[in-house]
Amino acid sequence: MVIEQLELAFHPGSVAVVGASSNPLSPGYRFALHLVNYGYRGRIYPVTLNCSQVLGLKAYPSLRDIPGSVDYVICCLPAAKVLDLLAESSEKGVKFIHLFTGRFGETGQEDAARLEMEVLRRARALGIRLIGPNCMGIYYPEEGMAFAYDLPTEPGKVGMISQSGGAATEFIHYASLRGIRFSKVISYGNALDLNEADFLEYLCHDPETEIIAGYVEGVRDGSRFLKVLRQAALVKPVIILKAGRGNAGARAAASHTAALAGSFKMWETAIGQAGAIQARTLEDMMDLVVSFYFLPPILGTGVGIAGGGGGKSVLSADAWEEAGFTVSSLPPEIAERIQNALPEMWWRWIGNPVDVSIFPEEAIIANLGGNILRMMAQNPHFDLLIGNISVGGPVSETELAAGVRRQVSDIIDIHKEAKPLAVVLNTGALGLEESDKLRWKCLAEEKAKLLAAGIAVYSTADQAAGAIIRLVSYHQRREAISRSLSAPEPRSSSRS
């Protein structure tokens, strides 16, 4: 039932922004603006006593003055006016309200918390469902609904639930730089009525969502959340960032969304047992989402790494091995092919990771680096290939750019071989001045090409390995479950 109700919230025929405003710095203006700018196709009704038009749209003094029906209300009124809005909404037949309105329980004030409980009681009595209060609501690019500026307008396959609107906005902005796009994002704040379990259940069944990411400070209904989490994790990868883990974090969570943060140890265990994937920071969650977004299922841990000089090769070997991957020597089939092309010294010397800085000139001209990666792509020894983009070394920026371009074009080509492949490329944290230099410009350009080709790009080997090993574990677990389900019923043991 919750799922059908949320379907209405995601596909309203009309939206009223109550507390709309013509002041560009006000939330009531912004929510109306986003509906217009992101291309929402239903009717938009600004509701305000202060002006007759908002953004060229006719404004109404109250919900009851609106001629048509209203499917979804975005409420930007102060907390004290929410009870009246509920009454008016009920009269108008409104079934769904997003309460952007904050300053309820999260303030720590008793009267505010009491008012919040009264809002819930009244909404329940009237059969109105609530998102929030104290939240940004819905970002659903497909439908033209959004809660912030400059979010991608193209849809994608990540569904996100986030107790924090700021964390959600930051996540979307930064993840979009890494090629990630979203199906639906729900910022749900205090989770007074509809809560994390409802949204998670919805995304679990949502055909537009293939990966679920969640930023959660506390849960309203622990046992139901865990049940839904378990169900969802069986169907698609669910990545959970639990925030408010320590004392200070729990205190901050309480004053942010009135959340009861709970014991983190219990959380960790529960997330793990449910088969969900735990993220430690927003950036870690981004690396995980990038992995599930761009990489197919991987069941083995054999990794073949090529590109970069000696230091990068040594550091890469450490990072991948420490994360749990196997970085073994080149298999005889590949060594043999190098043997046919180069004198003894090299075919004995070249290893995995492939240090391309030791190649003799003829090997560079013959593009041995790219060729070895291609041989790895065709070799069953490797479950995953990593292209390390060479960014150090003694070459000039022109030579660097030429080398990186060649490497990236090889990688994009090899990526078509259907072997899982990812790239480690650090574009650097640029100031303005630097971004004009070819050295950095070329890295940014080539990164854009990799993303356009649908390739997972990470800043460091450490981040890549740490995220991808959790993808491997997730798929191994799923494989084990589906194997056990399809296995014949075990016969009763001889002992019984």
| Nearer to a copy of itself (CB atom), residue 128 or residue 185 | 185
| Nearer to a copy of itself (CB atom), residue 312 or residue 374 | 312
Rounding to the nearest 10 degrees, give the CA dihedral for residues 429, 435, 438, 442. 60
> What residues numbered 106-125 form the site for a copy of itself, per CB under 8 A?
106-109, 112
> What residues numbered 418-437 form the site for a copy of itself, per CB under 8 A?
426-435, 437
> What residues numbered 282-321 form the site for a copy of itself, per CB under 8 A?
282-283, 308-321
- Shortest gap between Cβ of 208 and a copy of itself (angstroms)? 24
CA separation for the pair 308, 310 (Å, rounded): 7
- Shortest gap between Cβ of 250 and a copy of itself (angstroms)? 8
Give phi and psi for 43, each to the nearest 5: -80, 140
Q: Which of 2, 122, 142, 170 binds a copy of itself (CB under 8 A)?
A: 170
Tokens of 451: 């993303």
Tokens of 439: 């050295």
Tell me if 252 contacts a copy of itself by CB under 8 A.
Answer: yes
| Nearer to a copy of itself (CB atom), residue 431 or residue 488 | 431
Tell me if 402 contacts a copy of itself by CB under 8 A.
Answer: no
- Shortest gap between Cβ of 214 and a copy of itself (angstroms)? 12
Q: Which are the contacts of 267, defined by CB distance < 8 A and separation ≥ 6? A: 242, 245
> What residues numbered 87-106 form the site for a copy of itself, per CB under 8 A?
102-103, 106
Q: Which of 223, 396, 416, 417 binds a copy of itself (CB under 8 A)?
A: 396
Other CB atoms within 10 Å distance of the CB of residue 340: 7
Q: Which of 148, 219, 274, 386 binds a copy of itself (CB under 8 A)?
A: 148
Please provide the DSSP assignment of 326-392 as one string. B-PPPPHHHHHHHHHHS-HHHHHH--SSB-GGG--HHHHHTTHHHHHHHHHHT-TT-SEEEEE----
| # residues contacting a copy of itself (CB under 8 A) | 107
Interface region with a copy of itself, contact rule CB under 8 A, candidates 50-58, 224-232, 440-448, 488-496: 440-448
Tell me if 214 contacts a copy of itself by CB under 8 A.
Answer: no
Give the long-range contacts of residues 322-328, CB within 8 A, separation 24 or more: 322/465, 323/462, 323/465, 323/466, 323/468, 323/469, 324/465, 324/469, 324/472, 325/301, 325/384, 325/465, 325/468, 325/469, 326/301, 326/302, 327/303, 327/352, 327/353, 328/302, 328/352, 328/381
Tell me if 167 contacts a copy of itself by CB under 8 A.
Answer: yes
| Nearer to a copy of itself (CB atom), residue 130 or residue 464 | 464
- Shortest gap between Cβ of 375 and a copy of itself (angstroms)? 18
CA separation for the pair 139, 208 (Å, rounded): 13
> What residues numbered 254-273 form the site for a copy of itself, per CB under 8 A?
255-257
Tell me if 447 contacts a copy of itself by CB under 8 A.
Answer: yes
Contact 138, 186 (CB under 8 A): yes
> What residues numbered 341-370 form the site for a copy of itself, per CB under 8 A?
344-345, 348-349, 351-353, 355, 357-358
